């Protein structure tokens, strides 16, 4: 089901004159709407919503209908049987006659609880808490997917920047190779110098191949979230030209989707514990009965024969109140409450764990962001210095004052500085994403990156 959104994104991009370009916002929206795990959570929420309606049916009266016909012996005797479900009860005077007759019966029993000491209300509240927990899980799952999508999106951009720097390195080595080749042909430099440059060029080409492989792998990971749209050109927004604002947003761990999910989990455990507090009470049931029975046996023991007894001939009705006292359930309920109390305390402790982790994640992201900004401020100077070093080494080599090894070292230094500069800005944006991830809302990051 991911494929259609990719087609829609491509069509939408073409409609707005941005053919084959995938923005960060589009990628995040596509993943949030179509990733399978989100649909799993949504269906779990739907099941929990059905659980609320199921709990509400307990307010309805129970209506049982019955119809039965049988042919059997009717031997009876005096005596007592404890309640059981194997030996049938037979009405009549004691007898011992193995002749069979028809018996029939039908009836309707309506049972309704006029009051239940809050048990049904507590069960509905529990089902509602389960639904709220499932809904919070949907939100947390959707958030995790959007964060993962944004992270992979930045990974693709970083791989592309590394590949561009590697291609620039190949071009520089090719220019140097032509220069050295001319010197070698003029017998101004040994042939070993040209071989060295060709070796460096081959290494640079291998680096390009590795960088392109990294792009393919990153796009494959992106396709997990946005489908075929991952093949589109990615819109870098302003991430390669500007840095995010210096101001750091504050942390409010309570509003993070993971915290909201755990808060809902705590509420569910509380609701379950409250429901157990309404169980150990007498159960009142108002019952109404209408029934009819028929038999092929006379009161003196004579059998009527034929089909007599197949149709009910004697009617009864009744109305009453039944009270059931679950005397021994209190021991089991007490242990259930102890177990549920432990579950509640565990859920509350987990909330503290999540808050602690989010604070640590926020502080680590803030430190990473500060360090990435310092690196991004240095890399332009690094490139300028490396370029000046290469120019000097090249000039000295052409004048016979330096070796090809000096030129190669300077060239590699320039390549490394270009890659550092290409990735420095994206590293700042990635650190900003980590910061917003800890805060629980990456939409400000997406807005800033897309302007």
Distance CA 17, CA 19 (A): 6
- The answer to whether residue 17 scores a pLDDT higher than 60 is no
Q: Quote the pLDDT of residue 408.
A: 83
pLDDT at 4 > cutoff 60: no
> Which value, in Å, is the radius of gyration of the alpha carbons in the chain?
40
Q: What is the pLDDT of residue 188?
A: 66
The two tokens of residue 354 are 């999540």
Residue 258 to residues 32, 83, 87, 127: CA-CA distances in angstroms? 16, 53, 57, 21
Token reading at 267:
């509420």
**In sequence order, what DSSP letters do the residues of 337-368 get, joined into one string?**
HHHHHHHHHHHHHHHHHHHHHHHHHHHHHHHH
| Whole-number Å distance between alpha carbons of 443 and 432 | 12
Dump strand ranges (E) for 113-259: 233-234
Domain over 16-61+118-279+331-450 is classified CATH 1.20.1600.10 = yes
Residue 431's Cβ-count burial label (10 Å; 0-12, 13-18, 19+) is buried
Identify the residue whose tokens are 């009876």: 76
The tens digit of pLDDT for each residue in 224-283 reads 888 887 788 888 888 888 888 888 888 888 999 999 999 999 999 999 999 999 988 899
Kindly state the average pLDDT of the residues 154-161: 90
DSSP-assigned beta bridge partners for residue 105? 68, 293
pLDDT of residue 19: 47
Per-residue pLDDT band for 362 (boundaries 50, 70, 90) equals very high
Instruction: Tell the burial category of 18 from Cβ atoms under 10 Å away from its Cβ (0-12, 13-18, 19+).
Output: middle
Looking up tokens 């705590």, which residue turns up?
A: 266
Q: In what order do the strands lie in the sheet with 100-112?
A: 62-73, 100-112, 283-295, 314-324
Segments in 93-118 forming alpha helices (H): none
174-225 pLDDT tens trace = 887 887 778 777 776 777 877 887 888 898 889 889 989 999 999 998 888 8
The predicted model gives 13-42 an average pLDDT of: 75
pLDDT in tens, 387-444: 899 888 888 877 778 788 888 888 888 888 888 887 888 899 999 999 999 999 999 9
> In the Cβ-directed half-sphere of 440, how many Cα atoms lie within 13 Å?
19
> Cα(first)–Cα(last) distance of the chain, in Å?
30
pLDDT at 180: 78
- Look at residue 421 in the predicted model and tell me its pLDDT: 84
Residue 93's pLDDT is what?
Answer: 72
The span from the CA of 271 to the CA of 252, in Å, is 26
Cα–Cα dist 437/249, whole Å: 12
Write the Ramachandran bin of 40: left for phi over 0, alpha for psi from -120 to 50, otherwise beta. Answer: alpha
> pLDDT tens digits for 285-343?
999 999 998 888 777 777 787 888 888 888 999 999 999 988 888 889 999 999 999 99
pLDDT confidence of residue 197: 79
Structure tokens at 280: 């150990």
Of the candidates 316, 272, 24, the residue with the CA atom closest to the CA atom of residue 155: 24
CA distance 159 to 134: 37
Residue 276: what pLDDT? Answer: 92
**pLDDT for position 107:** 94
**Exposed e or buried b for every residue in 289-311, given b needs 16+ CB within 10 A?**
eebbbbbbbeeeeebeeeebbbe
Report the C-alpha gap between 113 and 59 in whole angstroms.
Answer: 8
Model confidence band, residue 10 (pLDDT cutoffs 50, 70, 90): very low
Provide the 10 A C-beta neighbour count for residue 64: 10
Residue 114 near residue 319, CB atoms below 8 Å: no
- What span, in angstroms and rounded, lies between the C-alpha atoms of 400 and 21? 50
User: Which residues, 6+ apart, have CB-to-CB distance to 250 below 8 Å?
Assistant: none
Q: What is the pLDDT of residues 187-197, one digit of tens each?
A: 767 778 778 87
The tokens describing 391, both together, are: 């120019």
What are the residue boundaries of the structural domains of the chain, listed by start?
16-61+118-279+331-450
The reported pLDDT for the residue numbered 320 is 93
* Tokens 């680590």 -> residue: 364
- Residue 390 to residues 202, 383, 410, 418, Cα–Cα distance (Å): 19, 10, 5, 13
Instruction: Write down the pLDDT at residue 204.
Output: 86
**Is the Cβ–Cβ distance between 104 and 69 less than 8 Å?**
yes
């Amino acid at each position: 089901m991911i494929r259609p959104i990719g087609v829609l994104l491509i069509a939408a991009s073409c409609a707005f004159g941005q053919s084959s370009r995938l923005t960060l916002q589009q990628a995040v929206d596509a993943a949030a709407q179509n990733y399978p795990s989100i649909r799993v959570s949504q269906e779990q929420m739907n099941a929990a919503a059905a659980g609320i309606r199921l709990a509400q049916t307990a307010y309805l009266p129970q209506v049982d209908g019955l119809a039965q016909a049988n042919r059997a012996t009717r031997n009876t005797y005096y005596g007592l049987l404890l309640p059981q479900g194997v030996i049938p009860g037979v009405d009549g005077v004691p007898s011992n006659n193995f002749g069979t007759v028809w018996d029939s019966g039908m009836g309707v029993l309506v049972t309704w609880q006029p009051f239940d000491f809050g048990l049904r209300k507590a069960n509905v509240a529990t089902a509602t808490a389960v639904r709220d927990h499932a809904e919070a899980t949907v939100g947390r799952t959707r958030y995790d997917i959007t964060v993962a999508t944004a992270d992979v999106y930045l990974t693709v951009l970083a791989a592309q920047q590394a590949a561009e720097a590697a291609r620039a390195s190949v071009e520089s080595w090719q220019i140097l190779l032509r220069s050295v080749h001319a010197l070698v042909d003029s017998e101004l430099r040994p042939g070993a110098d040209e071989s060295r440059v060709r070796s460096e060029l081959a290494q640079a080409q291998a680096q390009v191949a590795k960088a392109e492989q990294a792009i393919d792998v990153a796009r494959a990971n992106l396709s997990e979230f946005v489908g075929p749209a991952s093949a589109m050109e990615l819109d870098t927004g302003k991430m390669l030209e500007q840095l995010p604002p210096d101001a750091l947003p504050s942390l409010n761990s309570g509003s993070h989707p993971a915290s909201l999910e755990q808060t809902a989990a705590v509420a569910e455990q509380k609701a379950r514990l409250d429901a157990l507090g309404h169980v150990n009470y007498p159960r009142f049931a108002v019952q109404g009965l209408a029934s009819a029975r028929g038999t092929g046996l006379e009161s003196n023991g004579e059998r009527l024969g034929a089909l007599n007894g197949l149709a009910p001939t004697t009617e009864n009705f009744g109305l009453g109140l039944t009270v059931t006292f679950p005397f021994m359930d209190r021991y089991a309920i007490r242990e259930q409450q102890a177990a549920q109390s432990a579950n509640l305390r565990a859920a509350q402790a987990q909330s503290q764990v999540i808050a602690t982790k989010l604070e640590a994640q926020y502080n680590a992201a803030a430190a990473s962001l500060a360090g990435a900004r310092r690196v991004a401020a240095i890399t332009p100077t690094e490139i300028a210095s490396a370029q000046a070093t290469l120019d000097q080494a090249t000039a000295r080599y052409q004048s016979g004052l330096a070796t090809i090894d000096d030129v190669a070292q300077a060239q590699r230094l320039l390549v490394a500085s270009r890659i550092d500069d290409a990735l420095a800005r994206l590293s700042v944006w990635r650190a900003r994403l980590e910061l917003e991830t800890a805060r629980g809302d990456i939409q400000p990051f997406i807005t800033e990156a897309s302007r």
